[in-house]
Structure 1
């Protein structure tokens, strides 16, 4: 447990140093579920890249840093906690009031326990892969997201786990 707390503290410190150079933070909340009926509650802060690429009449490529805390509430095993940091790339389609988007990213996560229901993660350190889609309007965003956690074969077994979630983001 002490090792997990040290890893979580290191991840938070790294996230803080990355985000200290950014402007204002957006806040997000999501609720999801895994295939093993574990409910996930995710609280996050996002810091936009403040850059656009491939801008056209169709849309633009942009992105953000996502730092998050996730609480994993399982049926069979005790609860789990994770913190994560990921760069996320977003293709935002053009629109005046409503702007659809798709997103993808790969980051890192640290778990307090290596077990989630029937999944043995083997290591507290995990990679976080995500894809998602949604709509942005005014200073808000609503979307769906699939996030996969795996240690990429660093240690076996490497069961991995996916969370499928609805999320809400508020920009300031």
Structure 2
């Protein structure tokens, strides 16, 4: 038993070192490594949302195609839902989660347009929205697609539009899902 454990550790150590070095190198070459994001959104059933996000850009780039490249950023979110329905059981719901976001963005220039997509996880503070509308789990998946642009001399500003779908992927019923249309503004440090 002991020899198996040592063998596994010996095999996994080089992989862990390579991953650690890749992240340290990527973080060191990033121009704008962190950003803060704010985004209002709306959904059906009289739901309004205000989302605050912290964004980490490790500076990874791959597949340079025609002056554009792919990249990935990590986002952490805290959002506040306001339900304006007259029969709202909980008129204030909190949403917490993380999402890796993949982008296809222009390489250089003062104005860099992009398209983006991501799948993350969310946790909701309350399951019931109205007497006849509830999610069965606090755990939700957050699928998102969007368009936007990063601009400014150092790429400090960003604006975008996203369509986001939250649901538990039928882990448990009911699973009504929620679709948000959201604009966002971001400042990169």
TM-score by length of 2: 0.76
Q: Quote the offset at 1:94 in angstroms.
A: 4.0
Say how many residue pairs are matched.
Answer: 152
Distance 1:95 1:25, change over 3 A: closer
Aligned-pair Cα RMSD in Å = 1.6
Counterpart selection for 2:79 from 24, 46, 70:
70
Give the aligned partner of residue 140 of structure 1.
Answer: 157
Give the aligned partner of residue 102 of structure 1.
Answer: 115
Return the alpha-carbon distance in structure 1 between the equivalents of residues 70 and 92 of structure 2: 37
Counterpart selection for 1:124 from 117, 126, 138:
138
Structure 1 segment 9-158 matched on structure 2, within 5 A: 24-76=33-85, 77=88, 78-117=91-130, 119-138=133-152, 139-158=156-175
Give the aligned partner of residue 5 of structure 1.
Answer: none
Distance 1:60 1:119, change over 3 A: farther
Unaligned runs of at least 5 residues, structure 2: 1-23
Give the aligned partner of residue 4 of structure 1.
Answer: none
Larger radius of gyration: 2
Return the alpha-carbon distance in structure 2 between the equivalents of residues 137 and 92 of structure 1: 11
Deviates more, 1:53-62 or 1:160-169: 53-62
Give the aligned partner of residue 14 of structure 1.
Answer: none
Q: Quote the offset at 1:95 in angstroms.
A: 4.6
Return the alpha-carbon distance in structure 1 between the equivalents of residues 42 and 60 of structure 2: 33
Return the alpha-carbon distance in structure 1 between the equivalents of residues 129 and 122 of structure 2: 14
Give the aligned partner of residue 182 of structure 2.
Answer: 165
Unaligned runs of at least 5 residues, structure 1: 1-20
Cα deviations by residue, 1:103-152 (Å, 9 ceiling, x for unpaired): 00001000001133564211000001000101110210011001111001
Return the alpha-carbon distance in structure 1 between the equivalents of residues 53 and 182 of structure 2: 13
Which structure has more RCO (C-alpha within 8 Å, separation ≥ 6)?
1
Secondary structure of the residue aligned to 1:155 is coil
Cα deviations by residue, 1:56-109 (Å, 9 ceiling, x for unpaired): 333000010110100000112211001010111001034511111000000100
